[in-house]
């Protein structure tokens, strides 16, 4: 059986994000281009990408301690992702409040 277009696109996006993380130290511009291509392919084929693997505002791939700072807040029960390129912050909830509504969602790559 031939693979569907969607599964080919998902494999290509996963490969592009992987290559973006590898190439970032040598060529950050090419790395951003790979992230942009992955985002465009996911948009075209209508499936969610793992938003924890790149910055949504500047498009840099997240590499812990290089382009990403992770902080946790036990009080708010959130994990804070700070982009070291543009300073954008994203919050991901955990615990009961963070998991609410996650059951019905499609799984990102
Ligand atoms: Zn950023």
Residue 109 CA from chain centroid, whole number: 9
Output the CA 68–ligand 1 centroid distance in Å: 9
Output the CA 5–ligand 1 centroid distance in Å: 30
Residue keyed to tokens 């700070």: 82
> Could you give the 3-state DSSP secondary structure of residue 13?
helix
DSSP structure string for 56-100: TTT-PBP-BTTTEEEEEETTTTEEEEEETTT--EEEEE-HHHHHT
Output the CA 72–ligand 1 centroid distance in Å: 19
pTM score, two decimals?
A: 0.82
Q: What is the pLDDT along the chain (109 residues), one digit of tens a residue?
A: 778 888 999 999 999 999 999 999 999 999 999 999 999 999 999 999 988 999 999 999 999 999 999 999 999 899 999 999 999 999 999 887 555 555 556 677 7
Output the CA 73–ligand 1 centroid distance in Å: 21
The predicted pLDDT at position 101 comes to 54
Output the CA 3–ligand 1 centroid distance in Å: 34
The predicted pLDDT at position 102 comes to 57
The predicted pLDDT at position 51 comes to 87
Domain ranges of the chain: 5-98
The predicted pLDDT at position 100 comes to 55
């Amino acid at each position: 059986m031939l693979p569907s277009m969607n599964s080919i696109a998902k494999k290509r996006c996963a490969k592009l994000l992987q290559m973006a993380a590898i190439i970032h130290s040598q060529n950050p511009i090419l790395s951003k281009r790979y992230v942009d291509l992955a985002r465009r392919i996911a948009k075209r084929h209508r499936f969610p990408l793992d938003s924890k693997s790149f910055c949504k505002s500047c498009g840099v791939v997240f590499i812990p301690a290089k382009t990403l700072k992770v902080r946790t807040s036990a009080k708010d029960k959130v994990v804070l992702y700070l982009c070291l390129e543009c300073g954008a912050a994203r919050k991901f909830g955990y615990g009961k409040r963070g998991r609410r509504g996650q059951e019905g969602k499609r799984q990102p790559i």
